[in-house]
Chains A and B, each alone.
Chain A
Amino acid sequence: MGKQQITDPHHLLFEAPRVQSFITGSEAVAEAVKRANVDMAIAYPITPQSESMHLVGELFEQGYIRDFYRAENEFAVMAAIHGASLGGGRVFTATSGPGTLRAMEMFPVWAGARQPIVCAFMCRGVSLPPSIQPENIEMGMLLDTGMLMLHAEDGQDFHDMVLAGYAVAEQPEVHLPVGVFVDGFFATHTKDRILLPPADLKLPPYDPRTAPVPTFDMETPPMRITRDPLLNKSNFISGAANASWHQEVLAAAERSRRHLRTYLGGLLEVESPKAKTLIVASGTAVSQSREALRLLQAEGIDAGLIKIKSIRPFPEEELAEATDHADLIVVPEFNAGGWLGREVKAALDRNRRVVSGPRLFGGMSMPPGLIVETIKGAMATKNRSAGGA
């Protein structure tokens, strides 16, 4: 292990000179953890997350992180990470698909307990039938757990978002868990050109004393404290206290917007903003959409792209503004439920403009031509109905 110098997140993310490398998404996340000054990581084997957590294990061996072990199942991993975070450590873990669902009960707990945990989710199909292939239906199930949700397009995003995740999660007024989501295999196993900041830099250590809740170390007052107390007496006041706690968790997520703009450069990103036809996507569906834009441009069809980087908080206002002039909005996604389409529709007015599709799942790739077909099909339908009117 080389000696690392502490630098502020802004410098690490935006100013430090970057070196180009040709690595997989799994390697990219380990590179982020290497620079994140993580105290503790806990792992459990699950495809396609395993490679990255093997590499994180090696970081432990090399001394970049201070403790690491394999726990007995994902629920236990997430509970142990919860414990480590209560103890004041900066923690990292990762899971995937069925593992996410096995640990489901813990995610709202993290958020409610205001823990700045960063967890990578290498999305895959959930049973049944069993699948280890890419699909992001698990994100649709996590939308209301209270954690912040960032969706990486590729290995570069994955790397940067893990680092940005700590910077945002640990803001005293935010102090919430951040899930960094990436589509398994499409991003984790693809080798790509990735720009890395120097390995001799790292984030400043986490300071639990700035947390909005006390640390469990018997070094922090008050002495008499339980996390989190049973606010469940059967009376109006304890019901109201419980509800207010939830409001505070929602408020903390709202407060993260400002920091997400700083560290992600915005909750969404727009390409060809003036186009009347817009694709709205997140994750690797963005990559496929970029290719679709090329195909459309080659045919002289003017189309633009909105990449949603933050799913929670969701950029409702930015999205409404960016799409206000559009008359066709297409939302391609890698899951059967179409959760992003639903989010988009719920955020916009004039829903008839929105086509929720194409949707691919079960491990299927999304040919860019399919997005083009969807757009042309929707245009044809519109022209027909316009002609008929």
Chain B
Amino acid sequence: MKNASLSNAFFTMLKRDLTLALRTRSEIANPLLFFIIVVSLFPLAVSPEESLLRTMAPGIIWVAALLATMLSLDSIFRSDFEDGSLEQMLLSPQPIALLVLGKIMAHWLVSGLPLILIAPILGISLFLPGEAMFALLATLALGTPVLSLVGSIGVALTVGLRRGGVLLSLLVLPLYIPVLIFASNAIATAAAGISIKGQLYFLAALFALAVTLAPMATAAALRISLR
């Protein structure tokens, strides 16, 4: 397997999924709109009072980011499963984990990246102090790929099921908890002006662990689901 064909397979898969996502606009817009709406629910539900919202801002934004990613996970394999191209991918001599990594990266670019770009605006709407903005962006940049990677394992396990949606959240959300804890805490600590190196290192470690192990687990799960 010449590595030229390996990288070619990876980038073709990435380009393929990106073109597919760009051609169905709604796939990008929905998670983003969901993210915005959920964040703007909290001031209505809790209180518009500044000091309260400021303390809750990190948690609100991160829980909303978690749920938005969860919603968009289904699109990674669902349409490919229905029209048989997932079968073709499993029958390719190229390593499946690599192809899966390409798909997950495309999913992150379509769902994770927009969240990062829009998060500062929502941060401002929740009175998040300026010092915390960097922490918000850094934690989202490190955390959302982990959400896509770990989420892809869950979606690979439930791709064959008709009503896999709710089950997916039960499988995946517990695995998101470490990311949620360190990310939302990092923003809160940064808001208080304290250095957040420790939290960022831990998030980076989770990212490294996820990017190496998750594609293999997803590949195994796909082979099982498509039996």
Q: Do A and B come from one complex?
A: no
